[in-house]
Amino acid sequence: MAYPALSEKPDTVPASATTPPVVALDHITRTFGPTTANDDVSLAVPPGAVIGLIGANGAGKSTLMRVLCGVTEPDSGTLTLGGTPVAFPDWSPTEARRRGIRIVFQELSLCVNLTVAENFYLEDPSAAAGTPWGSPLWRGRYRKLARAGIDAVFPDSGIDVDARLSDLALGQRQMVEIARAARDPNLRLLILDEPTSSLDAGRAAQLQDFVRRSTAKGIAFIFISHKLREVLEIASRVVVMRNGRVTREGGADAFTVHALVELMGGEAGRTAATSSQTEAGREILRITGPVTAPLGHDITLHAGDIVGFAGLEGSGQRTQLHRIRLDNPDAGFVSGDRQREGVFPQWTVLSNISIGALSRRPLASIVSTEAETETGRHWAERLRLDPGRLSSNVLHLSGGNQQKALVARALARQSDILLLDDPTRGVDVASKHDFYRVVRQTAEAGAVVVWYSTEDIELLECTRVLVFHKGAIVRELVGAEISEESIVDTAFLHEKTGHEKTSATPTPAAPAAPPRSPHRAADRLTSVIPLISLAAVCAALATLNPASASLFGIDLLLSSAVPLVLIALAQMFVVGGSQIDLGIGAFAGLVNVVGATVLTDQPALGVVLLAAGIGGYAIIGALIERRRIPAIVVTLGASFIWLGCGYTLQSAPGGMAPDWLMAAVAWQIPGLPTSLLLILAAGVCGLLVDRSRLGVVLRGFGNNAAALSQGGWSALRHTMLRYVIAGVFAMMAGLALTAITTASDINAGSGFTLLSIAAVVIGGCHLLGGTISAPGVVAGAVTLSLIGSLLSFLGVSTDYNAAVQGLLLVAILGLRTLLERRESAE
C-alpha cells in the first residue's frame, strides 16, 4: 500500500521552542480489561493549533479525549500542561475545566427543559454573584451573556435565549452547546467532537470562522469529524488513529480525502470469510421497505449468511437490527452493551446462560437443575468458557467472558436467526477470535447471522455487508468485494458527497433529523389543561349556585383550597426531581397538630418542633440520595413517623390555634376574597422559588443529573435542599390548616397526599422530573378542591370524592401517554 509522501514543510502554526504546547499527552496507554483502547499514544497541542483527529469507528479517539479531559485515567503515560507536568490522580473534569480545557461532546450535555440563558447559568454561575436572592436580575445578565456567547460563534443565529432547549431544533441545540463552551474567558483548548453533525453548511462555515479567529488569539482546537473535507479545510495538523495507535501525523495540506480514507482503512486485512461462501441456503429473512430504497431491490438472507451492517455510527443499523428482532421474536440477540442490555447482575454465569433456553418454554414449566447444568456446560464448551466458572457470579468474569456467556444465552435459544448488536465492544482479542469461530459455526449449522459492528475490520468475517447511510442501505457488498477499504470508502464517500447522492436518489428513505420538537401538541395541551378545567369547574359552580360567585361565596369555597395549594406546591418540588413524597399529607397533618397544641401553649418549643420536622425532611433527602433507596418507600415509612408523632401529641381532634395564626388569615381587603389572595400569594412563592437560581439548578437535576454532577453541582446538597423546600411548603400548609380550622386533627392531612399528586399532574408537571409549573399546580389544586364542592352542589354523596379524584388522575395521565404515543408514532 502506497502512502502519500509526507510533506516536509512545517505546520501552519509552528510550535516554537519558546512556547510550550497548551497540553501534551505522552505515551498514553489505556486498556479496558483485555482491550487496548490507547496504545502508547502521544499528542501535543501547540497554542493556536487546530488538530484534526480522525480515525474509523473504534480507533481510540474518544478514549484519548476522555483522558485529556480527566474523565478517564490512563494506565500509563504523562500529561503536561503549558510545560508543567500534571499527575493524573489530580486530573478531573472540574480541574480540566478550571485550566481552560473544554470539550463539546457529541451527546449533548444540556438540560433540555431549561432555557438557553438558564443553561448558560448552569455552565458558569459566577456571573450571577451579587444579585440579591429572588430578584430576577441574574436572568438579565445571563440573557445578555448567552446572546453575546452565541453571536460570537454563530452571528444572526436567530436563537431566542428565552426559548427552552426542547423547543429548539437539534442543530440549534448543537450551536448552544458549542457557544456555551466557547465563551469561557479562560479557554485554552476546545475539543469539538463531531460539532457539525447537525449543522448546515452556513453554520459550519461560521464555526470555521470562529475557530480561525480564536486561533489568532492563541486558543487551540481539536476537531474530530467524519466529514474529512471539513477537517482538511480547518485543521493545521492532522492526526490519524487506527487500532488505538497514531498511524500518521502531519500538516493538513499533505493529505487528501482519499489518502485519509486509505490511511484509516490501512492495509487490506485478511480477505473475507472464504469458507462459508458456497451456494445459498434456504431463505430465512428478507429486508424490504424504504430502508432498501437506494438499492432498488429487496435483500434476501439465506441460511449460512453472515450479514454485516456497516456505516458510520448511528446511520440506522441498530434500528434495522431491532426491527428484525421484533419481527422474529424467537431470534437470539446479543448486545455489546452488557451492563444495560445483557447481564442479569444478581445471577451466576449458569443462570445467565440457561435463561436463553428457558425463555422458550412455558412460564409454568419446571426448571430441572440437571438439564440446566447440561445446557450451560454444552454452550460454555462451544464458546471455550471454563465450565468451572459457571457457578460464579457473572460480574466476576472479564468483559470477554461475560460476552461469551451472553452469546451462549443467545445460542441456547436455538433459533435460526442470530442478531448481534456490536457484540465485541471491549472484548479481548482471544475472545474475539473464539467469537468469530462460533459465529461461523452457527452460520454453517444453517442459521443466518446479522451482525452490526462499530469496528469495520470485524466485517471482514461476513459473507455479505450492507452499508448504511442516513437510515438506508446504500450499498451491498458480497464476498470478495468486502474489504476494509470498500467499507470505509462507501461510508465516508457517502458522507462527503452525501448531499448530491441523496438528492439524486429517487426516494431517499431518510428518517433524517428528528422532528423539531417531539411532544409539541401534548405539551401545549398539558399547559392549558389546568386553566380549562379550572374555568369549567368555576362556571359549573356559578351556574348551579349563583351565590358561589359572590365575594363571600368565593372566599368560603376557596378557603379549603389554601392548604391543598401549598401541599401541591411542596409535592411539585419533589416531583421536579422525579420522585414522589407519600408522606407529605401526614407531615402537614403533624404540623397542623403542633400548630394547635404546642405552638399555642409553648411557642418556643413549637418552633423547635417545626424546625425539627424540616430537619427530618433534610434527612429524608440525604437518605434517598446517599443510600439510593426509593423515595416512595422512605416517605411511606416517614408518613407513619409523622402520624405517630401526631397521635402522641394529640390522640383526639381538638386543640386551639394561636391567636396570631388565626389573625394571619382573618384579615380582609374590601372587595377581595381573602382566601383567593392567600392562594395567589402561595403561588407567587412557589413561582419565585422555581424561577430562582436554586430552582433552575433543581430543575436541571430533574432533567440531566449526570450533566450537572459533571459540571460540579453537588447532587446530595441539592436533593436535601429539594426536600427542605418541600418540607417548608408542607409546613405552611399545616399551619394554614390550623389557622382555617382553628383546631387540629392528625388525620386532616392524610387525604391530601393523593390530591397533591393529582394537582401536580393536572398542573402539567412531568412525573419523570424536570418540568414543573407553579401556576399550573395552583390551578390544578384549586380545581380539585372545587370539584368536591361541585359534587355536593350536584347532590352527589361525598363518598364519591375519592373515586372522582382517583379517576381524574388516571384519566389525565393516561390521556397524556396516549397523546405522546400517537405523536411518536407519526
Partner 1 sequence: MTAVPNTHRSTGQSSFLHWVETRRWIWSLIGIAVLWLVLGALTSRLSLQSMSGVVSSAAFLLFPALGQMIVVTTGRGNIDLSIPSVITLTAFLSVNIIDGSNALLPVGILAVTAVGLAVGAVNAALVLWLRIPAMIATLATGYVLATGTLLANRSFSTYQVSPALAWFATGRVAGVPVIVLAALAATLLCAFVLRRTVFGRALSAVGQNQRAAELAGLPAARIVAIAFLTSGAAAGLTGALLAARAGGAFLDMGSPFLLQSVGAVVLGGTLIFGGSATALGTLFGSVLLVLIVTTMQIAGLPGGTQEIIQGGVIIAVLALAGAAGKPGRR
Kindly identify the residues of this chain, within the stretch 296-335, that bind partner 1 according to CB under 8 A. Answer: 325, 329-330, 332-333, 335
Nearer to partner 1, 37 or 809 (CB): 809
Kindly identify the residues of this chain, within the stretch 353-372, that bind partner 1 according to CB under 8 A. Answer: 355-356, 358-367, 369
CA dihedral 746, 749, 753, 759 (to 10 degrees): 180
Nearer to partner 1, 175 or 726 (CB): 726
Cell of 76: 500509563
Nearer to partner 1, 631 or 689 (CB): 631
In sequence order, the 6+-apart residues with CB closer than 8 A to the CB of 258 are none
Q: DSSP characters for 90-115?
A: G--HHHHHHTTEEEE-SS--S-TTSB
Binding mask 26-65 for partner 1 (x = CB under 8 A): ----------------------------------------
Nearer to partner 1, 662 or 815 (CB): 815
Nearer to partner 1, 270 or 396 (CB): 396
Q: Counting contacts by CB under 8 A, is residue 806 touching partner 1? A: yes
SS3 for 511-531, per residue? CCCCCCCCCHHHHHHHHHHHH
* CA gap 96, 188 in Å, rounded: 10
Q: Counting contacts by CB under 8 A, is residue 525 touching partner 1? A: no
Buried b (16+ CB within 10 A) or exposed e, 414-428: ebbbbbbbbbbbbbb
Out of 371, 810, 822, 824, which residue is the one contacting partner 1 (CB under 8 A)?
810
* CA gap 1, 3 in Å, rounded: 6
**Closest approach of Cβ 413 to partner 1, in Å?**
6
**Closest approach of Cβ 712 to partner 1, in Å?**
19
Out of 446, 814, 822, 824, which residue is the one contacting partner 1 (CB under 8 A)?
814
Q: Counting contacts by CB under 8 A, is residue 730 touching partner 1? A: no
**Closest approach of Cβ 803 to partner 1, in Å?**
3
**Closest approach of Cβ 693 to partner 1, in Å?**
25
Nearer to partner 1, 315 or 402 (CB): 402
Consecutive H or E run containing 223: strand 220-224
Kindly identify the residues of this chain, within the stretch 621-660, that bind partner 1 according to CB under 8 A. Answer: 623, 627-634, 636-641, 643-649, 651
Out of 212, 608, 802, 822, which residue is the one contacting partner 1 (CB under 8 A)?
802
Q: Counting contacts by CB under 8 A, is residue 708 touching partner 1? A: no
Nearer to partner 1, 307 or 582 (CB): 582
SS3 for 236-253, per residue? CEEEEEECCEEEEEEEHH
DSSP character for 193? E
CA 793 to centroid of chain Cα atoms: 47
Size of the site for partner 1 (CB under 8 A): 83
**β-strand partners of 308:** 451, 465
Kindly identify the residues of this chain, within the stretch 574-613, that bind partner 1 according to CB under 8 A. Answer: 580, 582
**Closest approach of Cβ 198 to partner 1, in Å?**
27
Kindly identify the residues of this chain, within the stretch 609-628, that bind partner 1 according to CB under 8 A. Answer: 623, 627-628
Q: Counting contacts by CB under 8 A, is residue 713 touching partner 1? A: no
Q: DSSP characters for 527-552?
A: HHHHHHHHHHHHHHHHHH-GGGGSHH
Helices (H), 692-714: 693-710
Nearer to partner 1, 551 or 791 (CB): 791
**Closest approach of Cβ 393 to partner 1, in Å?**
4
**β-strand partners of 229:** none
Q: Are 171 and 203 a contacting pair, CB within 8 Å?
A: yes
SS3 for 295-312, per residue? CCCCEEEECCCEEEEECC
Q: Counting contacts by CB under 8 A, is residue 754 touching partner 1? A: yes
In sequence order, the 6+-apart residues with CB closer than 8 A to the CB of 510 are 470, 471, 472, 502
Q: Counting contacts by CB under 8 A, is residue 562 touching partner 1? A: no
Q: How far is CA 634 from CA 622, 626, 638, 644, 766, in A?
A: 11, 13, 6, 15, 21
**What are the backbone dihedrals phi and psi of residue 741, each rounded to the nearest 5 degrees, phi first?**
-90, -10
In sequence order, the 6+-apart residues with CB closer than 8 A to the CB of 677 are 669
Q: Counting contacts by CB under 8 A, is residue 664 touching partner 1? A: no
Task: With contacts defined by CB under 8 A, name the span among 290-298, 347-355, 594-602, 656-664 that binds partner 1.
Answer: 347-355
Q: Counting contacts by CB under 8 A, is residue 801 touching partner 1? A: yes
Kindly identify the residues of this chain, within the stretch 193-252, that bind partner 1 according to CB under 8 A. Answer: none
**Closest approach of Cβ 623 to partner 1, in Å?**
6
Cell of 500: 448530491
**What are the backbone dihedrals phi and psi of residue 455, each rounded to the nearest 5 degrees, phi first?**
-105, 110
Q: Counting contacts by CB under 8 A, is residue 553 touching partner 1? A: no
**Closest approach of Cβ 824 to partner 1, in Å?**
12
**What are the backbone dihedrals phi and psi of residue 161, each rounded to the nearest 5 degrees, phi first?**
-70, -10
Kindly identify the residues of this chain, within the stretch 369-428, that bind partner 1 according to CB under 8 A. Answer: 369, 373, 390-393, 395-396, 409, 413
Q: Counting contacts by CB under 8 A, is residue 107 touching partner 1? A: no
Q: Counting contacts by CB under 8 A, is residue 128 touching partner 1? A: no
Q: Counting contacts by CB under 8 A, is residue 348 touching partner 1? A: yes
Q: Counting contacts by CB under 8 A, is residue 785 touching partner 1? A: no
Nearer to partner 1, 517 or 801 (CB): 801
**Closest approach of Cβ 41 to partner 1, in Å?**
30
Nearer to partner 1, 681 or 818 (CB): 818
